[in-house]
Amino acid sequence: MIGLAWSQAIEQWGGEDATVPAQARRSWLHRAPEQQVVALYRTTREADPDTPAPWWLRALADGTLDTRADGFAVEDRVASLLSMRSGWVYVPWNTDGDSGYWEFVPSERTLAEPGVPTTLMLTDRHPGWIDVYRVHAGAPPAPVAMRGLADLRANLARLESLTPA
């Protein structure tokens, strides 16, 4: 039953056309009391360690992020930066419960065969919260870990010009 409760908690309603993460925050886990969301997630994760969840909830449950609002602020700052630049497109779906990702569409032109454009994903694997995967065909390359928004801003032109891995 806990798995069913969690699948309903992460259900996205109407965010398919979102152009920024804030427009896709429609699930129960985005609106319910934060402590209730974290408690349900932790209970679900005990039954299934691979429980799908947004990066910010995993970080919040692990104690590396202070609040859900802090996670939303990271998403919104990245959206503000990338929305001002030509070529970046927000993709509001990823895996169940995730927060979506950004693609730098012009990078696809550098591939000789179909592949994946330069992609920015938010992550809980390090305190900079931002990973960039260079344009590639085939297996994904190791992510480039950003040390936060300032590092992303300082390196964005270089990341946009990366050649295929």
Q: Give the pLDDT confidence score for residue 94 in this predicted structure.
A: 64
- Tell me which residue range forms the domain holding 73: 2-160
Tell me the two tokens of residue 32. Answer: 């319910």
Q: Taking all residues of the chain, what is their mean pLDDT, rounded to a whole number?
A: 92
Binned at pLDDT 50, 70 and 90, residue 106 comes out as: very high
Binned at pLDDT 50, 70 and 90, residue 95 comes out as: low
- Report pTM: 0.93
Is residue 133 within 8 A of residue 119, CB to CB? The reply is yes
Residue 165 falls inside a structural domain? no
Number of domains in the chain: 1
Q: Give the pLDDT confidence score for residue 9 in this predicted structure.
A: 86
List helix spans (H) across 1-148.
Answer: 2-10, 28-31, 34-47, 55-62, 68-83
Nearest partner of 143 among 157, 153, 162, judged by Cα: 162
Q: Give the pLDDT confidence score for residue 14 in this predicted structure.
A: 67
How many of the other CB atoms lie within 10 Å of CB of 47?
11
Rounded percentage of the chain residues whose pLDDT exceeds 90: 76
Binned at pLDDT 50, 70 and 90, residue 148 comes out as: very high
Say whether pLDDT at 23 is over 70: yes
Q: Give pLDDT tens digits for 110-144.
A: 888 889 999 999 999 999 999 999 999 999 999 99
